[in-house]
Structure 1
Amino acid sequence: MGKIHELDSVLADQIAAGEVVERPASVVKELVENAVDAHATQIDILVQESGVRSIRIIDDGDGIDDTDVLTAFKRHATSKITSREDLFKVHSLGFRGEALPSIASVADVVMSTSTGTTGTRIHYRGGKLLQQAPAPLRQGTDITVTDLFFNTPARLKYLKSPQTELANILDVVNRIALSYPGVAFRLVHNAKELLKTAGRGDLQQVIAGIYGVQNARKMVEIQGADDDFKLTGFVALPELTRASRQYVTVLINGRAIKNQQLTKAVIKGYGSKLMVGRYPIAVIDLQMDPLLVDVNVHPTKQEVRLSREPALAKLISTTITARLVDVNLIPSALTNLGSHRREALNTDQLAMNLNAASSQYHVASKDPVATERFAASLAAAASPTAVSESSEVAETPASMAVEPVSSAAVPEMDTQTSADSAEPIMISDRRELAATSVNDFDQRYQDEAPELPFGAQAETQEELAVTSDSEEAAGERFPQLRYLGQMHGTYLLAEADDGMYILDQHAAQERINYEYYRREIGEVSTDQQNLLVPIILDYPTSDVLKIKEKLPVLAELGLHLESFGGNSFIIHAHPTWFKAGQEEDTIREMVDWLLQDDKLTVAQFREKSAIMMSCKRAIKANHHLDDQQARALLTKLPDCENPFNCPHGRPVTVHFTNSDMERMFKRIQDSHEARD
């Protein structure tokens, strides 16, 4: 008897499920995408115990004809492609034809579907058909998946903690909702509504439902296009950042995708406006000819292959850069203080509660009694009272109960979060997430409408006007500041017609220096200054080999090193823009940068050199300036291309508005009545 045989169809489906159905979120993704492809306008996602117990998807889409229901549960069956040519012009979200049979092979699946003229109810368990019967004629599909991985218990051991699995589900739904603002989505977990979108086609409203109205107000609309691509979306002002790249959502033809190069292009568009280690919130919606994108390169269809990717990345970065050029980016001082106050709240208690819930997870997957305790502990850990009872923080609305894991704890684990970790959401991340579930900085210091509950929608576009205090300031991009004095040899105090400004003197001069060096390094001329005494540099052999390989890069910047025997180099001249008295230090620093990363391009080397030199040659803290020096600094700063941030992204100045000052001194009461 031969050794080679054909696998049983159920076993083949279970193997396919290993690629398509990795976790409960995978089930949600596949079924919700099917509902979108079926032209649904309302999709309800009902989940119990992070999807381990049950997942139910209800839509009002086209439904499946009774003659096609059994075929839909066969491998490689699909209604979305018919020929080879269709593979290269995909307009749907899914077409691999493995989702339904794969899910049915590792779970209990009951589906009722109707086209409006016929209705069918079908029941599969472990890949075996148990029942087929007529169903009500409500148009659309209602599918319930229970006992996920009941016949493949090894898969259960690879699931993460309950809050992580719930976060993955939330991320999937959030990104699909951002992709299709014209579809109304509702996500309910353990009878608590976590997300609700209106389906009005307004992307900004969906962003507000996911990230909150206050954050949506700090996002600006972008538009760009070239011959092949059309770009729209919203990006956050630089003051609104997060700790990882996972808040950048890239959509291609209605599909949320993962692409490191496009994500980097978004970050590059901010230039030095972002602090080091901080990343923006962004939703980038790209439309292109389907021939330019291949979505059939990954079982989950989240990774795609793009034609003309460099051109697309450039379009993204230049569009964002151009949009932020003329925006006043000075943050409100009280907003900055508010973010720190929220971080200082007792959000550790929430993280402890979540950890306590996750410790019961693996027990719950084996013990039916423990399953009930697991569900209760998850609800308790994520409830607003878990925070408010221990920290005297005002309780959030009930509909916001699990917001800490909504838009922030997303599944893609980039350089900030390890995908292999059994607990990928770090405590520091939970603090940031939990902080979003408590009230914003004391409402007495804000003159804005209260933030809507998570999932609630603003009634009018006016309620979501994307403006900030800085944008509402007087028409000029950067105010004309009048110098008042210096504080602790570190901060400069100034005033303008709209309030008081505090400047970090080191950050201010660092920005001025950076733009000078970037300009000079980028516009290298043949002008050289001869040295009276040549500079000799000595390096170990390993470094000499690297330097010799990169001599052309140094020459691009006007720095010519000549071999001087052994492990030495000699320099006879330097660019004229070098500061007098700092020639040798500057040369050594530039060579050191090159040695740290021998893969630097010329453009990257120029940028890093400019940042390095601007920092080392800036005024330090605790350095007292006289009035003339301080005023000179304030005069040069507005002439900068970006006077708002140092090259590392820290704010140069913060702003106290006139009304901020009046509130702090109680000249304006909470009722907005002036005090005598």
Structure 2
Amino acid sequence: MGRIVQLDEKLSNKIAAGEVVERPASVVKELVENAMDANSSKIRVDVSEGGLSSIRVLDNGEGILPEDRETAFFRHATSKIKTDRDLFRIGTLGFRGEALPSIASVAEVTLKTCAGESEGEKITVKGGQITERITAPPRQGTEIVVRDLFYNTPARLKYMRTVYTELGHISDVVNRMALARPDIAFELWSDDRKMLKTAGHNDLLRVLNEVYGRAVVKEMKYVKASSEDFQVTGYIAAPSEARSNRSYMTTILNGRYIKNPALTKAVQTGYATLLPVGRFPIVCLHITMNPLLVDVNVHPSKMEVRLSKERALQELVSEAVKEVWENTRLIPEMSSPEKSTPKPEQMSLNFQEQNSASVKKQAEGNQTYKVPKNKESIFSPDVSKAVSNSKENEGTGDFTRSQTDSIHSTIRDPEIESVSEEVHSPTVESAEIPALYPIGQLHGTYILAQNESGFYMIDQHAAQERINYEYYADKLKQPSNQLQELLVPLTLEVTASETGMLNGNKEELEKVGLFLEPFGTNTFLIRAYPEWFPPGEEKETIQEMIEHIQKAGKVDIGLIRDEAAAMMSCKGAIKANHYLRQEDMEALLVEWRKCRNPYTCPHGRPVMVQYTIYEIEKMFKRVMN
């Protein structure tokens, strides 16, 4: 008798369950996907003890036809695809035909279903075998109850985490499904406690409000972009709402939640230096594309996909996110401690410039401030000249309390239309920093300034770091092709794997001006390097090039130049505990206001915080509401 045997169906299903059913959340995902594919408008999920005791998924979809009910528990039985050609144009969430048989092989499954005018039926399957099949009430849709998960695989059951951990994974799955399909009403209950409920009004912002809360949603911006192959829509949260991990970044592709590191990186690139190191944004993006351009048959979980035009999609996403923040004012406001009583709507000022005639008309009897005259400065001649030009353009420098013409609206109720209107509004606040007038310095580190809207604190190091960064970034965008010759060559020692990689990318490195000369085993000589390399950081920059090749298979010269600009800007910026004269503070603020992105330093730290007049008066009890 031969040693190779055909495994029976029961054992095959258990093996498949090892990949498809990793934990209770996997069961919820597969069952909810089936309900979504059945054109359901309402889906309810009930779990007990983190899903280990029982999982119930109830929908009002099409139901299962009588002749298909037993077949549904056969391995690789599906209604989603018929031929191999269908595999390249998948429009449903499920298609592998593995979910139900895999779940039924490691748990007790009860199915109640009714389709159209047919009779309702109840089927019970345990350990892959049908144990009961009886008539049931004819309720439209399907109800599936899974009990005693992993009862016959004790090794898997042993490694399940706590009830709260498993419940957290289930909640995450249902949240992603709700974000993917805002047109479906979702409910999640745990031991008779409601965890999520969406209205199914096809309003993504309302679903985001249910998932992340009002405070996050009111700081979100609508993003939209399209190309010949892709359409991208969604919402992105302000950098101030960033989190410490990527789990808050949701990407939906053709209605399917996916995990794609390249798209995640594209979103982060769009935020650029607005995010501190190790912080990640809250994002929900919907991407629509031709199914022929995507392969979802990569992993049984169906969350990993391969895209045929991935780089083009990356650029589209990155530019769309970048454009949003380039047109948004991101001045953080310092507020007084919150009380339990409801806060009134806070008023903010519109800093749009007014013509001089209008200013004079409103200025009668109001307080004015004067810009001090510029004196000799410690800054470079270019900066001092810029200060002078800027002040000439600003006129006399007088300004008055302007009329408040915009109100910072807040979300009052997730069920009202104003939630969508606020974030969908095409109008954006001016991204321009208002004129600031320095009044002093705190601990030689923070510049204290004022204007008609309140009081400001500016981190002098971060402000000049931003000025320097944009200067060096512009300079390095079009660097010269000249090389810096070395009297004494640099010696670069690398590992054996890096040697092979560098030899394989020799032409790529020479294109960017880096010529490596072999010098013994795993050693290279560098006799010249591009002029734009940061002085004293030549080896570090070359090492970064090597790391880029390892990660991406090529040299991303733009990213390397950006990191070099950030490095040079930090080293040349004013340090903390450095006291400045009045004219130096003025010069710094004038130059900083002209930056394209003045809100953060190149490393993502905020440059300025603001105390509004309202907040100051509230702290001193001059206003009581």
TM-score interval for Structure 1 and Structure 2 normalised by the shorter chain: 0.7 to 0.9
Q: Do the aligned partners of 1:564 and 1:570 also contact (CA within 8 Å) in 2? A: no
| Distance (whole Å) between structure 2 residues aligned to residue 19 and residue 10 of structure 1 | 15
| Letter of the structure 2 residue corresponding to residue 125 of structure 1 | K
Q: 1:448 Cα shift? A: 7.6
SS in 1 for 2:535: helix
| Distance (whole Å) between structure 2 residues aligned to residue 570 and residue 555 of structure 1 | 13
| Letter of the structure 2 residue corresponding to residue 90 of structure 1 | I
SS in 2 for 1:67: helix
1:215 aligns with 2:209: no
Q: Gapped runs of 5+ residues in structure 1? A: 339-392, 395-445, 579-585
Alignment of 1:459-538 (within 5 A): 459-462=416-419, 465-466=422-423, 475=430, 477-525=432-480, 536=488
1:104 aligns with 2:52: no
Mean Cα displacement is larger for which, 630-639 or 549-558? Answer: 549-558
Aligned to 2:352: none
CA, structure 1 residues 542+288, in 2 after alignment: closer, same or farther (shift >3 Å)? closer
- 1:322-373, CA deviations, whole angstroms, 9 ceiling, x for partnerless residues? 11111001112239x98xxxxxxxxxxxxxxxxxxxxxxxxxxxxxxxxxxx
Identity %: 46
Aligned to 1:593: 541
| Distance (whole Å) between structure 2 residues aligned to residue 644 and residue 199 of structure 1 | 37
SS in 1 for 2:546: coil
| Distance (whole Å) between structure 2 residues aligned to residue 559 and residue 13 of structure 1 | 56
Mean Cα displacement is larger for which, 65-74 or 23-32? Answer: 65-74
- 1:597-640, CA deviations, whole angstroms, 9 ceiling, x for partnerless residues? 52332222211111110001100100011111111111011211
| Distance (whole Å) between structure 2 residues aligned to residue 523 and residue 253 of structure 1 | 39
Aligned to 2:613: 658
CA, structure 1 residues 97+312, in 2 after alignment: closer, same or farther (shift >3 Å)? same
Aligned to 1:303: 304
| Distance (whole Å) between structure 2 residues aligned to residue 551 and residue 500 of structure 1 | 55
Q: 1:40 Cα shift? A: 0.5
Q: Do the aligned partners of 2:218 and 2:411 also contact (CA within 8 Å) in 1? A: no
CA, structure 1 residues 560+24, in 2 after alignment: closer, same or farther (shift >3 Å)? closer
| Distance (whole Å) between structure 1 residues aligned to residue 12 and residue 195 of structure 2 | 36
Aligned to 2:73: 73
| Distance (whole Å) between structure 1 residues aligned to residue 201 and residue 409 of structure 2 | 24
1:458 aligns with 2:415: yes
1:617 aligns with 2:568: no
| Letter of the structure 2 residue corresponding to residue 668 of structure 1 | V
Q: Do the aligned partners of 2:182 and 2:200 also contact (CA within 8 Å) in 1? A: yes
Q: Do the aligned partners of 1:524 and 1:558 also contact (CA within 8 Å) in 2? A: no
1:5 aligns with 2:20: no
Question: TM-score by structure 1 length?
Answer: 0.75
Aligned to 1:636: 591
Alignment of 1:158-557 (within 5 A): 158-334=159-335, 457-462=414-419, 465-466=422-423, 475=430, 477-525=432-480, 536=488, 539=491
| Letter of the structure 1 residue corresponding to residue 116 of structure 2 | G
| Distance (whole Å) between structure 2 residues aligned to residue 156 and residue 614 of structure 1 | 54
Q: Do the aligned partners of 1:204 and 1:464 also contact (CA within 8 Å) in 2? A: no
Q: Do the aligned partners of 2:444 and 2:577 also contact (CA within 8 Å) in 1? A: yes
Alignment of 1:102-141 (within 5 A): 102-117=102-117, 118-141=119-142
CA, structure 1 residues 629+651, in 2 after alignment: closer, same or farther (shift >3 Å)? same
CA, structure 1 residues 226+535, in 2 after alignment: closer, same or farther (shift >3 Å)? same
Q: 1:157 Cα shift? A: 1.8
CA, structure 1 residues 273+153, in 2 after alignment: closer, same or farther (shift >3 Å)? same
Q: Do the aligned partners of 1:214 and 1:451 also contact (CA within 8 Å) in 2? A: no
| Distance (whole Å) between structure 2 residues aligned to residue 10 and residue 74 of structure 1 | 10
CA, structure 1 residues 472+661, in 2 after alignment: closer, same or farther (shift >3 Å)? farther
Q: Do the aligned partners of 1:537 and 1:568 also contact (CA within 8 Å) in 2? A: yes
CA, structure 1 residues 184+568, in 2 after alignment: closer, same or farther (shift >3 Å)? closer
Q: Do the aligned partners of 2:32 and 2:57 also contact (CA within 8 Å) in 1? A: yes
CA, structure 1 residues 645+108, in 2 after alignment: closer, same or farther (shift >3 Å)? same
SS in 1 for 2:232: strand
Total equivalences in the alignment: 545
Q: 1:233 Cα shift? A: 0.5
CA, structure 1 residues 190+657, in 2 after alignment: closer, same or farther (shift >3 Å)? same
Q: 1:501 Cα shift? A: 1.4
| Distance (whole Å) between structure 1 residues aligned to residue 250 and residue 530 of structure 2 | 45
| Distance (whole Å) between structure 1 residues aligned to residue 9 and residue 149 of structure 2 | 19
1:33 aligns with 2:33: yes
1:42 aligns with 2:50: no
Alignment of 1:58-69 (within 5 A): 58-69=58-69
| Distance (whole Å) between structure 1 residues aligned to residue 318 and residue 411 of structure 2 | 33
| Letter of the structure 1 residue corresponding to residue 465 of structure 2 | E
Q: 1:525 Cα shift? A: 2.9
Q: Do the aligned partners of 2:492 and 2:526 also contact (CA within 8 Å) in 1? A: no
- 1:512-542, CA deviations, whole angstroms, 9 ceiling, x for partnerless residues? 00111111122113689x99xx764654655
Aligned to 2:372: none
- 1:445-472, CA deviations, whole angstroms, 9 ceiling, x for partnerless residues? x9986886xxxx432234772399xx98
Q: CA RMSD in A?
A: 3.2
Q: Do the aligned partners of 1:40 and 1:183 also contact (CA within 8 Å) in 2? A: yes
CA, structure 1 residues 254+569, in 2 after alignment: closer, same or farther (shift >3 Å)? closer
| Distance (whole Å) between structure 1 residues aligned to residue 516 and residue 50 of structure 2 | 62
| Letter of the structure 2 residue corresponding to residue 461 of structure 1 | S
| Letter of the structure 2 residue corresponding to residue 305 of structure 1 | R
Mean Cα displacement is larger for which, 4-13 or 261-270? Answer: 4-13
Q: Do the aligned partners of 1:116 and 1:138 also contact (CA within 8 Å) in 2? A: no
Q: 1:116 Cα shift? A: 3.3
CA, structure 1 residues 552+494, in 2 after alignment: closer, same or farther (shift >3 Å)? farther
CA, structure 1 residues 598+501, in 2 after alignment: closer, same or farther (shift >3 Å)? same
- 1:479-530, CA deviations, whole angstroms, 9 ceiling, x for partnerless residues? 12122211110001112332221110000000100111111122113689x9
Question: TM-score by structure 2 length?
Answer: 0.81
- 1:31-85, CA deviations, whole angstroms, 9 ceiling, x for partnerless residues? 0000000011010000001000000001000001122110111111111111111
Q: Do the aligned partners of 1:88 and 1:290 also contact (CA within 8 Å) in 2? A: yes
| Letter of the structure 2 residue corresponding to residue 590 of structure 1 | E
| Letter of the structure 1 residue corresponding to residue 540 of structure 2 | D
Q: 1:240 Cα shift? A: 1.2
Q: Gapped runs of 5+ residues in structure 2? A: 341-406, 549-554
| Letter of the structure 2 residue corresponding to residue 490 of structure 1 | T
Q: 1:592 Cα shift? A: 2.5
Q: Do the aligned partners of 1:108 and 1:147 also contact (CA within 8 Å) in 2? A: yes
Q: Do the aligned partners of 1:482 and 1:494 also contact (CA within 8 Å) in 2? A: yes
CA, structure 1 residues 57+270, in 2 after alignment: closer, same or farther (shift >3 Å)? same
Q: 1:90 Cα shift? A: 0.6
| Letter of the structure 2 residue corresponding to residue 283 of structure 1 | C
- 1:118-146, CA deviations, whole angstroms, 9 ceiling, x for partnerless residues? 21110111111111111111100111000
| Distance (whole Å) between structure 1 residues aligned to residue 508 and residue 132 of structure 2 | 71
Q: 1:210 Cα shift? A: 0.2
CA, structure 1 residues 527+503, in 2 after alignment: closer, same or farther (shift >3 Å)? same
